[in-house]
Structure 1
Amino acid sequence: MIMMDDNEIPSNERSRLMDSTEDRGQQNLYVTTYEEAITKTGYGKFHYLVLALCGWAVSSDAIEVLSISFVLPAAQCDLNLTSNDKGWLNSIIFVGMMIGGYGWGSLADHFGRRQILLGSLTVNGLGALSSSFCQRFWVFLLMRLISGIGVGGSIPVIFSYFTEFQPKDRRGTMISVLATFWMFGNIIAAGLAWIIVPLDIGYSSPDFTYDSWRIFIAICTFPSLSSAALFFLMPESPKFLLSVGKDEQAAAVLKKVYEVNNPHAILPYDVETIVLSSDNKSDSAHRSNAHKNITKTCGSRSITQLLNTTYELLRSPLRRSTIIILTVSFTISFGYYGLWMWFPELFSRVEKYGGSPCDHIKETNSTDQSCTIPDNWTYQSGFLTALSNLPGNLFTIFLMDKLGRKAILVTGMLGSGLAVFFIPLIHNKVENLLISCAFGLISTLAWNALDVLQAELFPTGVRSTAMGLSSAASRLGAILGNLAFGELVDVHCAVPMILVSALLVVGGLTSLKLPNTTKVDIH
């Protein structure tokens, strides 16, 4: 290589090189990755507002999912329910969630998180409100299905929306905090059931009944409908806007976040050009054109885009993580919801007959069980079991980033599987309550770790689809778990308990193959 002294370089060439170097320096000065841009907004009021709203929406989903379990003992006579019917009522919302999780999630990857949240939360609230007026079992079942379609859409999109506002050094902790709002929804549903369902209120005539458990269902729709209204005031996810080529809008949202977080800041937000990561600094034009092509033919190509996004998840390098997440989601939901949704029914049986819930076998088609609303012990037990989630949530908030997502997930699934194994061996209602609370506490660890892992494993362009697909696998597990309980609980409840325990252990061992995402950049 021939080296030239500066004096040997022609003056005009030297000037051109200096200008070029200066231009590159200016480019590098203003080109910022998304992780850097979101960190520069600071962490303050805006992020806490996002947490409050997304948390309220998560609570609304929990209330809607879990509320039906608290009305089964009271609705038994109004709707002439058998154990098999109860299994379908517990399951049908998950059928809707399975449909909604995949469909809404893929739409959110192409048309935005905020718009899909508005629609799904509204469908959830209106479907549930309509169900409170239904007098026939099959119509009630249909309205719960529609409500479930809305819930299935909001859950994965809420977590995508929230995750994309979080800097990586706080992401694990804050997603864990968001996940705790599911517990608050559970507690709210159990508390409202304890207050409202035992009351002798409502209206009754030969043709129409609107009693306490229906009033309870109607009140439970307020969180979802109010969440939908509040999302009108929120911006779109800037990371989504950036991923579809709307760079200026993304920068404007981040600037607004900075201004809300720093109302008295002297220096302005100094980020002008943002890229998703350091690997794609020249892709904004390509992303913009790709998004224009999608939106021009959104009606005819939405299904194709959905399938293409799913295909990306099933090819290397995402295939391994996708398959493991689907397996873990299925097993934890089969185990958790297959048991949790039946806790009020099991508490009611223990209160009526004493001993273990497995000590007394009912005829599957029997609806005699004295058509009286269960006493306060059933609802007190449900409330305390819901409250048992609190220690698990606090544990994950403070230790998620220290111990790692995978370690907590494995521990939670194996521990909850062990707890379920002992339920048929208990002898009285106090032991039943204690083991149920232990299950609630330990299983919370697994759920929160899974929420963080699946939000971090997948890139922005497929994140909502991945979480929607995971939700679909989860709902399938919940459906089969509840149907299995409905069929087997009157044969001998030890059978579904052992099945639940085995699947939780299998899921825990499978999750050992997942990568660790602690403090890793999301793409």
Structure 2
Amino acid sequence: MPAVSSAGDQEPLLTGKRPLHDESDSDEGEILFERRTSVVPHDADEGACTRLTYEEAVEAAGFGPFHWLLLLVCGWANASDAVEIVCVSFLLPTARCDLQLSSSDMGLLTASIFLGMMVGGYVWGYLADQRGRCNVLVVSLSVNGLFGGLASAAPWFWLFLLLRFISGVGVGGSIPVIFSYFSEFMPRLRRGTMISALATFWMAGNILAAGLAWLVIPRTWIRFSVGRLDFQSWRVFVALCSVPSVTSAVIFRLLMPESPKFLMEAGRERDAVHVFRQMFRLNTRGKGLALPEFSLHVNAERRTRQTETRRPCGRLAALLKKGAMPVRQMFGASLKSKSVPLLVIFYCISFGFYGLWMWFPELFSRVEAGSSPCANMSATAQRRHRDCYPVNTVVYEEGFFIAAANLPGNIFTILAMDNVGGKLLLSVSLLLSSLSVFLIYVVRTKSQSLLLSCLFSGVSVVGWNALEVVATELYPTQLRSSALGFFTGAGRVAAIMGNVVFGNMVDSDCAVPILLVSAMLLTGAVSALFLPRSKQMELT
């Protein structure tokens, strides 16, 4: 509520003229905000101070339009990452001819973006914990969109590979940071449901990429020349896939505030107060309510530590030591029981999901030429499979249906997350995913393969959504983005290995990677049982 400076005149809240709470003799490190009555020299009574924890301050800001807007903006960013990742899988059946790719080359191409994500994940996550979530999101989304778009014009395979790698560096930053950023605005009792809702936008990105591939790539008349470059339909598709990331970066730069939880940890009191007031104003718009004046109670020890981390370090060894500090903390005595199972789960689910998902269009292309994904094709069928034109539209239709099969799993996750808990959902989902992949290997008809692929899509997305919720809630603010960045980076190593294994074995014996995927998912299901319970826990 604005302070009254003279009769009838009001001045803005953040003028710096109100007295701040004295921290010199306070040892209440858990108290984050102190609510005061307005400083009114004439006619206001002195009110009792109400001290709020961070979670209570989030509750006081209300829940409403601000959070739904935040869901749309963060969801679009999450969808843009999905589009950029899976677009490679849809261009393989046609781009392999224009870029003269072998199966091993296609494995490297699908792995390149994950290699970039491995590099970017931890670096961007660390920067987000040190410099703020919002700025890192703007830069990482810009890198993703810019280099993803440039890849559409790459005339040589090695250049296309390099640009996809750099695009992956951007994707690696936005995925872990977006969930940290989003969770730090959410009330505790709604956090699981809202993070699950955010995760559903990954499905939206998959559907968007599959729909664009279906609409654009088979249209071979979409073709023009830029200099010596023959810009075919699959290149137009790659360029269109970069648009969501660019628009997300612009929206974050123009509209979205920094996380108030990060601002509190960084000692930026005035900025954090301003964000909470923005949230309250939008959530209560038209109701005539006002948020009473409060000031931020900053932990002096954390403020000193933040100041120290901002001092430039002249030696490379000191920089590396500081950068490795979050990993040492994650695997220290207090967090080891959380970090080890999560590392195993991220590795197993990434190897299994991305190792198989990125090859679905290629496997279905083989189904069209043969009888099952792993069946030996006749010479005639192999020759037909190597012909990229005319484009086989059925492959993209099937890819669209598999992406749409995420919808039931996403709806189920939103409804069940806060009631069942992420740990149980994660374990059961990985178990069912393992079973569905094993059955994909067993079946012998096209319709059975499509049905089981849709089943895998529907149940595996429950595991991904649950994993995002669990990993977000288990770590404190100063480690949250670094931890998610580290684990997603480990997942990218697994995704790279999964794609390389598929690329090298899909021609000789694709049963081996498919059965390996099933075994990895089963290992992840068992590891999830060792995680601590995190349902509706407070963020630290």
User: Do 2:351 and 2:495's aligned partners in 1 also have CA atoms closer than 8 Å?
Assistant: yes
Is 2:527 the partner of 1:506? no
Partner of 1:392: 409
For residue 311 of structure 1, the aligned residue among 322, 328, 339 is: 328
Partner of 2:270: 248
Cα 1:305/1:268, change in 2 over 3 Å: farther
> Take 1:139 and 1:366, find their aligned partners in 2: how far apart are those partners?
28
User: Do 2:352 and 2:517's aligned partners in 1 also have CA atoms closer than 8 Å?
Assistant: yes
Is 2:67 the partner of 1:47? yes
Cα 1:197/1:43, change in 2 over 3 Å: same
Is 2:302 the partner of 1:287? yes
For residue 357 of structure 2, the aligned residue among 340, 345, 359 is: 340
Partner of 2:177: 157
User: Do 1:77 and 1:367's aligned partners in 2 also have CA atoms closer than 8 Å?
Assistant: no
Cα 1:119/1:136, change in 2 over 3 Å: same
Report the Cα offset of residue 352 of structure 1: 1.9
Partner of 1:264: 286
Is 2:110 the partner of 1:114? no
Is 2:368 the partner of 1:351? yes
| CA displacement 1:275-322 (0-9 Å, x = unmatched) | 5xxxxxxx5222222222222327866544321122111102112211
1:366-515 counterparts in 2 under 5 A? 369-515=386-532
Is 2:104 the partner of 1:94? no
User: Do 2:35 and 2:51's aligned partners in 1 also have CA atoms closer than 8 Å?
Assistant: no
Is 2:248 the partner of 1:238? no
> Take 2:198 and 2:167, find their aligned partners in 1: how far apart are those partners?
22
Report the Cα offset of residue 31 of structure 1: 2.2
> Take 1:223 and 1:411, find their aligned partners in 2: how far apart are those partners?
33
Report the Cα offset of residue 41 of structure 1: 0.8
> Take 1:316 and 1:467, find their aligned partners in 2: how far apart are those partners?
19
User: Do 2:428 and 2:525's aligned partners in 1 also have CA atoms closer than 8 Å?
Assistant: yes
Partner of 2:539: 522
Q: Tell me whether 285-294 or 180-189 shows the greater mean CA deviation.
A: 285-294
> Take 1:499 and 1:62, find their aligned partners in 2: how far apart are those partners?
24
User: Do 2:369 and 2:377's aligned partners in 1 also have CA atoms closer than 8 Å?
Assistant: no
User: Do 1:105 and 1:153's aligned partners in 2 also have CA atoms closer than 8 Å?
Assistant: yes
Partner of 1:226: 247
2:245 partner letter: S
For residue 360 of structure 1, the aligned residue among 373, 376, 398 is: 376
1:183-202 counterparts in 2 under 5 A? 183-200=203-220, 201-202=222-223
> Take 2:226 and 2:121, find their aligned partners in 1: how far apart are those partners?
39
Report the Cα offset of residue 370 of structure 1: 1.6
> Take 1:121 and 1:515, find their aligned partners in 2: how far apart are those partners?
33
Is 2:194 the partner of 1:174? yes
Is 2:287 the partner of 1:297? no
> Take 1:295 and 1:215, find their aligned partners in 2: how far apart are those partners?
43
1:20-99 counterparts in 2 under 5 A? 29-99=49-119
Is 2:157 the partner of 1:137? yes
User: Do 1:251 and 1:271's aligned partners in 2 also have CA atoms closer than 8 Å?
Assistant: no
SS at match of 1:76: helix
> Take 1:164 and 1:340, find their aligned partners in 2: how far apart are those partners?
31
1:268 partner letter: A
SS at match of 1:492: coil
Report the Cα offset of residue 265 of structure 1: 4.1
Is 2:226 the partner of 1:209? no
User: Do 1:335 and 1:504's aligned partners in 2 also have CA atoms closer than 8 Å?
Assistant: yes
> Take 1:273 and 1:498, find their aligned partners in 2: how far apart are those partners?
58
> Take 2:472 and 2:210, find their aligned partners in 1: how far apart are those partners?
28
> Take 2:293 and 2:427, find their aligned partners in 1: how far apart are those partners?
41
Report the Cα offset of residue 367 of structure 1: 11
SS at match of 2:58: helix
> Take 1:217 and 1:225, find their aligned partners in 2: how far apart are those partners?
13
Q: Tell me whether 74-83 or 315-324 shows the greater mean CA deviation.
A: 315-324
| CA displacement 1:1-40 (0-9 Å, x = unmatched) | xxxxxxxxxxxxxxxxxxxxxxx99898332111000111
Unaligned runs of 5+ in 2: 1-33, 37-46
SS at match of 2:286: coil
Partner of 2:13: none
User: Do 1:60 and 1:223's aligned partners in 2 also have CA atoms closer than 8 Å?
Assistant: yes
Cα 1:271/1:435, change in 2 over 3 Å: farther
Cα 1:44/1:130, change in 2 over 3 Å: same
Question: Structure 1 or 2: larger helix share?
Answer: 1
Cα 1:59/1:298, change in 2 over 3 Å: farther
Q: Tell me whether 130-139 or 369-378 shows the greater mean CA deviation.
A: 369-378
Q: What's the TM-score once normalised by structure 1's chain length?
A: 0.90
Report the Cα offset of residue 261 of structure 1: 0.8
User: Do 2:35 and 2:52's aligned partners in 1 also have CA atoms closer than 8 Å?
Assistant: no
